[in-house]
């Protein structure tokens, strides 16, 4: 009887050698992740304990990674740190990442969970620009044209981006911009905007309460890059009749959670 070839799509059972290679790779990546999370260098003993490995095993893996420059050993401090090759690999990711594309899965999940339209916007020259959108299925829904610009002071995404600024950045914005109201609900003074931004920081999400369009509410949160700076903001928006007072806190929690997911997806960190 002829030997049968494995069916397409089927996975061959890994042999002992293959299993060992995968295990070593997993251990090496675990060590690299722990070194990346450490504030400074780690000793061999600390690494072995953190990775649940015998010191001899940890040392073999570290020396192999050192040969490829993924880790570095400082003989003076006797500590191990992340090497330059790991930085180069990370830099390659930063050059090729597409934030709008990488955010789509979390954005779609937010739309499904909230039932409202979800947007992604970034800051450009003092305004928020919409770069991605997942429309909800409701007959009555909000719509933002991709590429459209909205003021920072009277939009959910804009206020989320302002809340992510440091004090110097916010002060510079407040000095340069005249807060032109879009509706009767828009914030008109720098002091009112500052108070709103403080509330945004405390609760973890921004709220546009008919400030950009009458009858429309928007809840938003900032997405951060690898340096802990705002890369963009994600929001959900819909009619005030659906985003009632009783739902705002719940939706705010969902938006903040989605922002953290996108932050992780693009390799960022929440400050």
Q: Are residues 111 and 67 in the same domain?
A: no
More confident residue, 229 or 9: 229
Residues 41 and 169 in one domain: no
Decide which of 44, 79, 94 is a domain's last residue: 94
- pLDDT tens digits, 51-87: 899 999 999 999 999 999 999 999 888 899 998 888 7
Query: Do residues 132 and 233 both lie within one domain?
Result: yes
pLDDT reported for residue 55: 92
Q: Which CATH number do you get for residue 187?
A: 3.30.450.40
Distances from the Cα of 58 to the Cα of 19, 26, 196, angstroms: 18, 12, 51
Map 94-123 to HEC letters.
Answer: HHHCCHHHHCHHHHHHHHHHHCCEEEEEEE
Least confidently predicted of 175-179, 194-198, 206-210, 260-264:
175-179
The CA distance from 183 to 180, in Å, is 9
CATH number at residue 51: 1.10.10.10
Give yes or no: residues 145 and 103 share one domain: yes
What is the reported pLDDT for 167?
A: 87
Same domain flag for 115 and 178: yes
pLDDT per residue over 95-136, tens digit each? 556 888 899 999 999 999 999 999 999 998 888 999 899 998
Residue range(s) defining the domain that contains residue 158: 97-265
Do β-strands 117-124 and 79-82 pair in parallel, antiparallel, or remain unpaired?
unpaired
Band (15; pLDDT cuts 50, 70, 90): low
The pLDDT score that the predictor gives to residue 1 is: 42
Contacts of 165 (CB under 8 A, 6+ apart): 173, 230
Q: What is the pTM of this model?
A: 0.68
172, 227: one domain: yes
Same domain (yes/no): 88, 140: no
Average pLDDT over residues 239-261: 95
Residues 218 and 136 in one domain: yes
Residues 82 and 106 occupy one common structural domain: no
Number of domains in the chain: 2
Residue 191, in any domain of the structure: yes
User: Comparing C-alpha atoms, which of 4, 22, 6, 78 is closest to residue 45?
Assistant: 78
Query: What's the whole-number average pLDDT of the chain?
Result: 87
- Say whether both 171 and 48 belong to one domain: no
Q: Is residue 2 assigned to a domain?
A: no
Evaluate whether residue 147 is within a structural domain.
Answer: yes
Integer Cα distance of 36 and 46 in angstroms: 14
Q: Are residues 105 and 123 in the same domain?
A: yes
pLDDT at 148: 85
Residue with more model confidence, 150 or 36: 150
Q: What is the pLDDT of residue 155?
A: 94
- Let me know whether 26 and 101 are in one domain: no
**In the predicted model, is pLDDT for residue 13 greater than 60?**
no
Domain boundary among 57, 79, 94: 94
| pLDDT tens string 198-232 | 999 999 999 999 999 999 999 999 999 988 999 99
- The partner residues of 134 in beta bridges, in order of sequence, read 118
Q: Which one has a higher pLDDT value, 138 or 196?
A: 196
């Amino acid at each position: 009887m002829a030997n049968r070839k494995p069916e397409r799509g089927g996975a061959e059972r890994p042999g002992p050698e293959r299993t060992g290679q995968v295990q070593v790779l997993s251990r090496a990546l675990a060590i690299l992740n722990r070194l990346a999370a450490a504030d400074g260098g780690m000793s061999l003993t600390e690494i072995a304990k953190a990775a649940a490995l015998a010191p001899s095993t940890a040392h073999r893996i570290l020396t192999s990674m050192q040969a490829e420059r993924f880790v570095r050993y400082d003989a003076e401090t006797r500590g191990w740190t992340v090497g330059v090759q790991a930085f180069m690999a990370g830099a390659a990711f930063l050059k090729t990442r597409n934030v709008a594309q990488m955010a789509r899965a979390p954005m779609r999940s937010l739309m499904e969970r909230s039932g409202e339209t979800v947007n992604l916007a970034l800051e450009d020259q003092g305004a928020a620009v919409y770069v991605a959108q997942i429309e909800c299925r409701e007959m009555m829904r909000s719509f933002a044209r991709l590429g459209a610009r909205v003021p920072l002071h009277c939009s959910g995404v804009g206020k989320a981006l302002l809340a992510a600024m440091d004090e110097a950045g916010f002060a510079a914005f407040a000095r340069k911009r005249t807060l032109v109201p879009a509706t009767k609900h828009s914030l008109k003074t720098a002091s009112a905007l500052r108070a709103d931004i403080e509330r945004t920081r405390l609760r973890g999400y921004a709220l546009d309460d008919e400030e950009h369009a009458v009858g429309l509410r928007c809840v938003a949160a900032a997405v951060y890059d690898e340096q802990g700076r705002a890369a963009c903001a994600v929001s959900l928006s819909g009619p005030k009749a659906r985003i009632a007072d009783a739902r705002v806190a719940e939706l705010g929690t969902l938006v903040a959670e989605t922002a953290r997911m996108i932050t992780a997806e693009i390799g960022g960190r929440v400050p």
